[in-house]
Amino acid sequence: ATPMSIISGVGRAAEFGVLVRDADALQRASSLDTLVFDKTGTLTRGKPQVVAIKTANGFTEHQALRFAAALEQGSSHPLAHAILEKAGDEGLPTVQNFRTLRGLGVSGEAEGCNLLLGNQALLSQQQVTVRELEDEMASQAAQGATPVLLAVDGKVAALLAIRDPLREDSVSALQRLHRAGYRLVMLTGDNPTTAKAIAKEAGIDEVIAGVLPDGKADAIARLQREGRRVAMIGDGINDAPALARADVGIAMGGGSDVAIETAAITLMRHSLTGVADALAISKATLRNMK
Ligand code: ADP
Ligand code: MG
């Protein structure tokens, strides 16, 4: 293995918009067998939209959307953007005691009501039953939408179905990686049903869903203990510990600074095609050296 050929490999990668931190990173990238992808913003466009609202317990769509949007004003989650966009920001009530519950949702008080907004885990943790909306929730999730639930004073008030389509080039890039022999895994905080529907559409082999932000690095470590050599591909602040834990962390271009600082490889473009390019170049470089 000559250092020169590695350096030329790093240079060649740069021509493809792939920034490799050092020679060691390129070497590790050449011997991976498992690729783990963050879902939101990596496989998907990361610009989710509200596609349906279903209410319960006498609430109107208008009331539900106002409360949901009021809460999401305090959140920077992609789901929050979707809800705020749908509601418009006119005349939203003021929220007191706002809290972010990582991996679960948000809570607060408005117009004298206690509000909760997030996934089923959040509502059941707070002993709110979702029976009235269970069927709708299952059917939205099976179609690949993320169900976000609103509870008002301990009663479920609405389900907002939010859809974040795959990036245009995700499927073809994943097919290329599959043909190259990698096992493809999705890692997400989203619920298993939604995650599986999207994984199927994307051609992903394995889904690890319902993972809290702190659990992403542990999920990578588990795969490593099974003997797999793992790359993590992500873009969010949440993804940084997993990017650091993986044999190779790959940050999507335009993602969070923390992700880029942590990753061994950074893609200049926000596209999975760069992942396939990066791994092909690493293999070709190391093959030439043998
Ligand atoms: P990911 O980035 O993989 O989608 P997160 O950990 O950010 O995972 O979120 C996990 C889940 O928690 C989301 O799918 C959603 O159900 C819920 N959630 C988190 N933040 C919010 C929020 N601001 N509004 C509504 N739901 C949220
Ligand atoms: Mg993400």
With a Cβ cut-off of 6 Å, ligand 1 is lined by 39-40, 72, 75, 77, 79-80, 103-106, 117-119, 146, 148, 188-190, 213, 238
Domain count of the chain? 2
Nearest CA to ligand 1 atom 19: 105
Q: What is the pLDDT of residue 131?
A: 96
Clarify whether 38 is annotated catalytic.
yes
Would you say 276 and 20 are in contact if contact means Cβ atoms under 8 Å apart?
A: no
Same domain? For 179 and 152 the reply is no
Q: What is the pLDDT of residue 206?
A: 97
Domain of residue 212, residue span: 3-44+166-289
pLDDT tens across 149-159, in order?
A: 999 999 999 99
Q: DSSP code of 184?
A: E
Q: Which residue has the higher pLDDT, 285 or 69?
A: 69
Q: How far does the centroid of ligand 1 lie from the alpha carbon of residue 80, in Å?
A: 9
Instruction: Using the 3D structure, point to which of 137, 163, 189 is the last residue of a domain.
Output: 163
Q: Compute the CA torsion angle 108, 192, 141, 81 (nearest 10 deg).
A: 40
Beta bridge partners of residue 160, listed in sequence order: 53, 148
d(CA 140, CA 159): 10
CATH code, 99: 3.40.1110.10
Q: DSSP code of 133?
A: G
50, 103, 239, 258, 263 from 245: Cα distances, Å: 34, 20, 10, 14, 10
Span 168-173, average pLDDT: 94
Same domain? For 102 and 178 the reply is no
Span 16-26, average pLDDT: 91
State yes or no: pLDDT of 1 exceeds 70: no
Q: What is the pLDDT of residue 213?
A: 82
Same domain? For 187 and 271 the reply is yes
Q: Which residue has the higher pLDDT, 285 or 144?
A: 144
Q: How far does the centroid of ligand 1 lie from the alpha carbon of residue 103, in Å?
A: 5
Same domain? For 182 and 233 the reply is yes
pTM: predicted TM-score of the whole model, two decimal places: 0.91
Same domain? For 9 and 31 the reply is yes
Same domain? For 55 and 127 the reply is yes
pLDDT tens across 3-14, in order?
A: 777 778 888 889
The average confidence (pLDDT) of the chain is 94
Same domain? For 234 and 257 the reply is yes
Q: What is the pLDDT of residue 286?
A: 83
pLDDT tens across 206-265, in order?
A: 999 999 888 999 999 999 999 999 999 998 888 999 999 999 999 998 888 888 899 999
Same domain? For 240 and 147 the reply is no
CATH code, 242: 3.40.50.1000
Instruction: Using the 3D structure, point to which of 163, 190, 225 is the last residue of a domain.
Output: 163
Q: Measured from the CA of 72, which atom of ligand 1 is nearest?
A: 23
Same domain? For 189 and 261 the reply is yes
Same domain? For 265 and 175 the reply is yes
Would you say 33 and 229 are in contact if contact means Cβ atoms under 8 Å apart?
A: yes
Q: How far does the centroid of ligand 2 lie from the alpha carbon of residue 37, in Å?
A: 9
pLDDT tens across 84-128, in order?
A: 999 997 789 999 999 999 889 999 999 999 999 999 999 999 999
64, 102, 284 from 157: Cα distances, Å: 7, 22, 56
pLDDT band at 290 (very low <50, low <70, confident <90, very high): low
Please name the helix (run of DSSP H) or strand (run of DSSP E) that holds residue 193, with its range, or none: helix 192-202
